[in-house]
Structure 1
Amino acid sequence: MNDTAAAATDGGEDATVQLFLASTLYGAATLAAAIDAGAFGERAARRILLVSTNTPIPETSTALDAAPGFAPIARRFDEVLDWNATIHPQHPAAWAPQPEDTPIWERLLRDRWGLGEAPVRLVVESIQGNPARAVVDIFADSAVDLYADGLMSYGPTRVKIPGGVGGRAVRLLHLDLVPGLTPLLLAEHGVVAEQVPVEAFNAVLAEVGEDSPVDLPAQTGPALMLGQYLAALGILTAAEEEALHHRMLAGLLAAGYRSIIFKPHPSAPGGTAETLAKAAADKGAELTIVDTPVLAETLFARLRPSLVVGCFSTALFTAATFHGLPVARVGTELLLQKLTPYQNSNRVPVTIVDALLPDLEAKGFAAAPLDVSPARIAETQALVTAVGYCMQSQNRPDLREAAAAFLTALPNARIPRYFRRRRLTVLGLPGGVQGRAVIPRNRLTRGAMRTAKALVRKGKALKGAESGEGLEGRD
């Protein structure tokens, strides 16, 4: 750890500017909770919140600083800045400065934001991608704290982080969504995982909920359905996503629920909620749609739902772990097969939900508290470690032995649910096709294979011509 990073851990000097980057209300609430818990020292430093809208079409989405419930979070900061406006017309998820331009960008931003020559401490979402990586590259001398926005912190770093960047990372702040489970994110750089207290997070959510004007039905213990936006991400088609939501509804109806609330994802396009309401009405049930763009987590304390259902939303674990609510999953087996490539960063969240939560569609389903017994968590940790190695074997070779041990003990019938035979074969792991060589699927090897095959075909053709083979029927 360099001297700058060490000073940042200790709170730094009063002149240090703390620059926080957030792209979701959930992430901003996590930051607010960490601030309240004292993770960034006393309120002596200047604190700036840089907001970014990373949805595919930001212009059609509600910006973070305009979202219901944002006002109480903003009070923790001295100033709120807009990253989208700063780099317009570039898209925050795609744009990053050229390496030779980063000093120019730093001077520009220091001038525009009034930072002067003050040292800057960065607090960003995972530096695996933009906009966080762009900001980290621009302020190249700054120590970096990371914070995790959900279940992805338990998965491996999805790209190789240069040592000069990873070495600046001080700690990973995360919510203890799965008690006892250890995050893999950035562990290869020795980044220390630090939990944000549950009490602080729930207190922030209470403030956010009070500031979120949403009309809720006067129902006692309804079931709550959590929508996702998988079609917008290209993971499912629009028809598949709609079918997934209808599976959730059908599962709730089959389990005897007649009072249901549907909370669409804030980033999801509209269109399916009305068909769900009609399908529920046809079965004699009432489905209420909460279409205000508020956090699903703000509804848990206010509604106290009898069951929370989703696919692989982080909110399922917020409900179960922080509020003690029964939860259930639908469709994770579909997602485990649909996610491509295997390294897709959603794979670990889906795996965790699939492994720990009950299946709403299973025969004899009954709502029950989440099982986080030591044995269950140890088994899940071993599974996540093995999946994490298969996702990022080059970045985390230290996980190979644990992955091999887990796969050796895993029943053969269960392997295809979480692992692909071809990948296990490539990595030479138990469960793969032993003794069979598999060429990795990447652009260079595919090109080499095509060239080799073309040369073989040409050689055969020349040999046939020399011997007179294959010339029948020609003049």
Structure 2
Amino acid sequence: MSTPDSADRSRTGTGPRPRPVQIFQASTLYGAATLAAALDAGQFGPAAQARRVLLLTNNAAVPEVAPRLSDMTGFQEIAARFDQVEDWNEAIAPHHPAGWQPRPDDAPLWERVLRTRWALGTGAVTLVVESIQVSPARSLAAVFAGAAVHVYADGLMSYGPTRDEPPHSVAVRVQRLLHLDLVPGLRPLLLSEFGVEPELVPHDAFRAVLSELSLAAAGDPEPARAAEAAPTALLLGQYLAALDILTAEEEEHLHVRMLRAAAAAGHRSVAFKPHPTAPDRYSEALQREAATAGVRLTTLGGTLLAEVFYARLPLELVVGCFSTAMLTAAAYYGIPTARVGTRTVLHQLTPYENSNRVPLVIVDHVVPDLEAGATPQRPEAPPTLQPLLQAVGYCMQSARYPWLRTGAEQLLARVTADPGADRDGAHAAYFGTERLTELDLPGGRKRRAPLVRQVLSRGRRETASRH
């Protein structure tokens, strides 16, 4: 960890102006790579203009046993772009970063403590954070109450609505939303209710950072071991059981379905990239299925990003449920993708406002279904996707996006008027009768007029009194 030079320390009198500070919060290597690409593209100005601090956060339920970002291959290459690296978990210990927020009266004290601890001096602070609506980003914004805020997104959730509204005092400080062009041409909905404009992280800049991570893994034995098996398909695990989206048994079966579908498509050597914290039993179940199907299975260990394997294996197919890495494979490596179990998870997802709904809808809408025999391909966003996501976003957060109602009504009215327009039940899966009824939208159950409801209610009461 580097130490600020004397020019960065607080001054009194008529000395040089304090140097501005940019704090970049990251909880994943993929997110840190997104930040590195934005820096390389000049989206935060010249390096000499401000002191740059990479702030690591570990939001796992039990951070002490989760893989550390700083231990991952390629981290040092990314960290070299920053003047210093700090750890948020250590700074606020024993509090958990996902649950802790400073009391309003304590926020100024915390700012003084952190400025001293990290030797930031008295310069103006700019925050670059993930998920501003929740901690730790929300806590950072509360501590540095005068800081301009930039939000960056490293996944598909940015195309959906804001899950939890940030305090107005924070929302008005958000300058922009930086995001990757994972679905070319698609515009994020996140934070749009506050007038926040999205800004693309250049494709070439992110691809260059991914190449850098791949080069950093040149001495890692895991890609070399995997390459010996020459897998032509890679299966992506997400550990959805940890998010209570599926049970462990359901997720285990989902991976088995992926393997069966890949085998049915003709792939005889398949790799499986489990989530780093997923249980070993997932790999064991796949090994048994692979033996039955006559498929050679290679389980990829370690904490390397899936993108490292995209660059180093002769892949013809990437299979997943709704992982962001599916879209990365297509957008940055040109590898055809296919989905398995996406509709199953979509039907089970609760509550309707769950932010995973938007990634599921995107993947279901643009990625071919491998189990249905569809040909894997590089997904492209059809013209129908933007209005579809706006309609889904309205149904998820209707009070926050009232201006999207008209578009939602028009889209749903067209589907309702044409029984053949929803042959595969996609719109039924995307919206659900209960939610459409609740919002009084086309496709919901017809509600009785108030007078009819009153008469029926009075009749039921009279009948009950006679008995």
1:23 aligns with 2:27: yes
Distance 2:113 2:283 in 1: 45
The equivalent of 2:147 in structure 1 is 142
Distance 2:367 2:353 in 1: 22
Distance 1:140 1:436 in 2: 50
Give ranges in structure 2 of 5+ residues lacking alignment.
1-16, 451-456
1:115 aligns with 2:120: yes
After TM superposition, give the deviation of residue 220 of structure 1 in Å.
4.3
The equivalent position to 2:63 in structure 1, one of 46, 58, 62, is: 58
After TM superposition, give the deviation of residue 275 of structure 1 in Å.
2.1
Deviations 1:118-141 (A, max 9, x none): 110000002011111111111110
Q: Does structure 1 conserve the Cα–Cα contact (< 8 Å) formed by 2:231 and 2:271?
A: no
Deviations 1:230-254 (A, max 9, x none): 0011111000000000000011111
The equivalent of 2:204 in structure 1 is 199
Which AA in structure 2 matches 1:302? R
The equivalent of 2:38 in structure 1 is 34
Distance 1:282 1:14 in 2: 66
The residue correspondences of 1:111-260 to structure 2 (distance < 5 A) are 111-212=116-217, 213=220, 214=222, 215-220=225-230, 222-260=232-270
Which AA in structure 2 matches 1:422? E
The equivalent position to 2:323 in structure 1, one of 283, 288, 313, is: 313
Deviations 1:31-80 (A, max 9, x none): 00100010111111110011011111111111111222211111011111
**Residues 221 and 107 of structure 1: CA distance in aligned 2, closer, same or farther (over 3 Å):** same
Distance 1:101 1:437 in 2: 53
> Alignment partner of 2:279: what SS?
coil
After TM superposition, give the deviation of residue 221 of structure 1 in Å.
5.7
The equivalent position to 1:367 in structure 2, one of 358, 367, 376, is: 376
The equivalent position to 1:326 in structure 2, one of 327, 336, 343, is: 336
The worse-fitting range, judged by mean Cα deviation, of 168-177 and 420-429 is 420-429
The equivalent of 2:6 in structure 1 is none
> Alignment partner of 2:281: what SS?
coil
1:71 aligns with 2:76: yes
Q: Does structure 2 conserve the Cα–Cα contact (< 8 Å) formed by 1:55 and 1:267?
A: no
The worse-fitting range, judged by mean Cα deviation, of 244-253 and 104-113 is 104-113
Distance 2:33 2:192 in 1: 24
Distance 1:72 1:128 in 2: 30
Distance 2:88 2:190 in 1: 25
Which AA in structure 1 matches 2:162? T
Distance 1:333 1:437 in 2: 35
Q: Does structure 2 conserve the Cα–Cα contact (< 8 Å) formed by 1:71 and 1:211?
A: no
**Residues 269 and 57 of structure 1: CA distance in aligned 2, closer, same or farther (over 3 Å):** farther
**Residues 405 and 285 of structure 1: CA distance in aligned 2, closer, same or farther (over 3 Å):** same
The equivalent of 1:445 in structure 2 is none
Give ranges in structure 1 of 5+ residues lacking alignment.
1-12, 439-452, 471-475
**Residues 14 and 310 of structure 1: CA distance in aligned 2, closer, same or farther (over 3 Å):** farther
Deviations 1:366-415 (A, max 9, x none): 2333234xxx1x20111111000000111111111111111111255443
Distance 1:270 1:55 in 2: 18
Distance 2:266 2:134 in 1: 44
Deviations 1:80-113 (A, max 9, x none): 1111111112211111112222112111111111
Which AA in structure 2 matches 1:259? S
Distance 2:61 2:350 in 1: 19
Q: Does structure 2 conserve the Cα–Cα contact (< 8 Å) formed by 1:224 and 1:260?
A: yes
The residue correspondences of 1:374-453 to structure 2 (distance < 5 A) are 376=382, 378-410=383-415, 411=418, 413=422, 414=425, 415-436=427-448
After TM superposition, give the deviation of residue 437 of structure 1 in Å.
8.2
After TM superposition, give the deviation of residue 436 of structure 1 in Å.
4.3
Distance 1:173 1:39 in 2: 9
The equivalent of 1:82 in structure 2 is 87
After TM superposition, give the deviation of residue 268 of structure 1 in Å.
2.5
Q: Does structure 2 conserve the Cα–Cα contact (< 8 Å) formed by 1:425 and 1:437?
A: no
Distance 1:233 1:418 in 2: 20
Distance 1:303 1:202 in 2: 17
After TM superposition, give the deviation of residue 302 of structure 1 in Å.
1.4
TM-score between the two structures when normalised by the length of structure 1:
0.87
> Alignment partner of 2:239: what SS?
coil
Distance 1:269 1:76 in 2: 34
> Alignment partner of 1:68: what SS?
coil
After TM superposition, give the deviation of residue 218 of structure 1 in Å.
2.6
Q: How many residues align?
A: 431
> Alignment partner of 2:305: what SS?
coil
After TM superposition, give the deviation of residue 116 of structure 1 in Å.
2.2
Sequence identity, in percent?
54
Q: Does structure 1 conserve the Cα–Cα contact (< 8 Å) formed by 2:339 and 2:367?
A: yes
> Alignment partner of 2:177: what SS?
strand
The worse-fitting range, judged by mean Cα deviation, of 387-396 and 415-424 is 415-424
TM-score between the two structures when normalised by the length of structure 2:
0.88
Deviations 1:128-179 (A, max 9, x none): 1111111111111000011002101100101223322111000111000000
> Alignment partner of 1:193: what SS?
strand
Which AA in structure 2 matches 1:426? E
Q: Does structure 2 conserve the Cα–Cα contact (< 8 Å) formed by 1:74 and 1:80?
A: yes
Q: Does structure 2 conserve the Cα–Cα contact (< 8 Å) formed by 1:19 and 1:120?
A: yes
Which AA in structure 1 matches 2:164? V
Deviations 1:184-209 (A, max 9, x none): 00011111111011111111112212
> Alignment partner of 1:194: what SS?
strand
The worse-fitting range, judged by mean Cα deviation, of 178-187 and 155-164 is 155-164
> Alignment partner of 2:240: what SS?
coil
